[in-house]
Amino acid sequence: MRTMMRLFFFTFLFSFQTFAQSGLNVSQGNSVDQDGYLTIGQENSDHIAISNLDIQAKLNNIHKTLYLNYYGADVAIGGDNSALSETQLRILGTTDASLIGDGLMVLGPTSSSNIVIDQNEIIARNNGATSTLYINRVGGDVEFFGTGAGSFIVHDLPSGDHNNLQYNASSGQFYYDNSSRRYKENITTLEDDWTKILNTRAVTYTRPEDPCRWEYGYIAEEIDSIGLTTMVGYDAEGQPEDVRYDKMVIYMVEMLKIQQREIEIQRQEFANQQKEIDNLRAEMIKRTSKAKRKKKNRAEDFSNS
């Protein structure tokens, strides 16, 4: 059946070329649902129906697969087909895609939601206005991958106090940060030597691609070497990749707790020492007063004698 369909379509291509050369013009007919202006093949078998707008493969009014140049070379739409390479389908041209320009391809009616594509842009539109572009919205993962020097660049991000974006260098996935226990399991108290944070070394540095721009921070390998592994992100090979600066606050808070406990102990010790000093001072005043009274009494006794 597929072979017959291909044969029909090849016959159509040959016939169409012959008709074009001979000046044949089929100017009247029905819609393709009623077998159009031109029918190639038997209506009760695989056939192709052509109207002034559509080309459809059919079988007894059931839509079938339309094969275009199945065993042939590339298919070019517009322009010079000498520009084709290994690409099986290429739409040639330089028409720019915009909110009002239709680029090289438009998917959907221009009066409502549609996508326009040119040689370096994909734009989602809605009746000439901007619209949201969804990529694999209800599908699986979307992977951006390059083996060259290209980068993943995002412009014009909105500002505001929102969830932090996190990147996993091992899996290449992005995440947003959340802290609710609704999204967590196996919650246990973290135990560590919080004083290790005191062994970190702050550094300044530049990067090879921007030698004039100085940055400051920490070195992932150094943080790993002092045992602060919870503050380090690792790549797929297990090598230190980045410093999780947001996790440093955990160690800082725990160090503040330790220091606060030490301050409270010292404060209590000072209060106890102050109390002892006050007691000693009171005792000294008491003894001094008693001694003065005794001295005064002796003086009075001596005077009366």
Region 72-82: mean pLDDT is 63
Closest CA to 1 of 38, 29, 55, 42: 42
- 277: Cβ–Cβ under 8 A, 6 or more apart, which residues? none
Closest CA to 91 of 101, 116, 122, 81: 81
Residue 168 and residue 159: Cα distance in Å, rounded? 23
Residue 84 and residue 172: Cα distance in Å, rounded? 34
Residue 299 and residue 305: Cα distance in Å, rounded? 10
Residue 97 and residue 110: Cα distance in Å, rounded? 13
Chain position carrying tokens 């005792």: 283
**Per-residue model confidence (pLDDT) at position 65:** 83
Instruction: For Cα atoms 142, 147, 150, give the angle at the middle one, nearest 5 degrees.
Output: 80
Please say whether the beta carbons of 287 and 294 come within 8 A. no
Its pTM stands at 0.49
Q: In what order do the strands lie in the sheet with 55-59?
A: 38-40, 46-50, 55-59, 62-64
Secondary structure of residue 101 in the 3-state scheme: coil
**Per-residue model confidence (pLDDT) at position 149:** 63
Residue 17 and residue 92: Cα distance in Å, rounded? 22
Please say whether the beta carbons of 128 and 99 come within 8 A. yes
Q: How confident is the model at residue 156 (pLDDT cuts 50, 70, 90)?
A: confident
Please say whether the beta carbons of 136 and 130 come within 8 A. no
Percent of the chain exceeding pLDDT 70 equals 80
Residue 10: phi and psi, rounded to 5, are -60, -40
The CA–CA distances, whole Å, from 179 to 45, 115, 134, 164, 256 equal 63, 38, 28, 11, 21
Q: How confident is the model at residue 21 (pLDDT cuts 50, 70, 90)?
A: very low
Residue 84: phi and psi, rounded to 5, are -70, 145
* pLDDT tens digits, 225-239: 999 999 998 988 899
* pLDDT tens digits, 27-43: 566 665 666 678 888 87
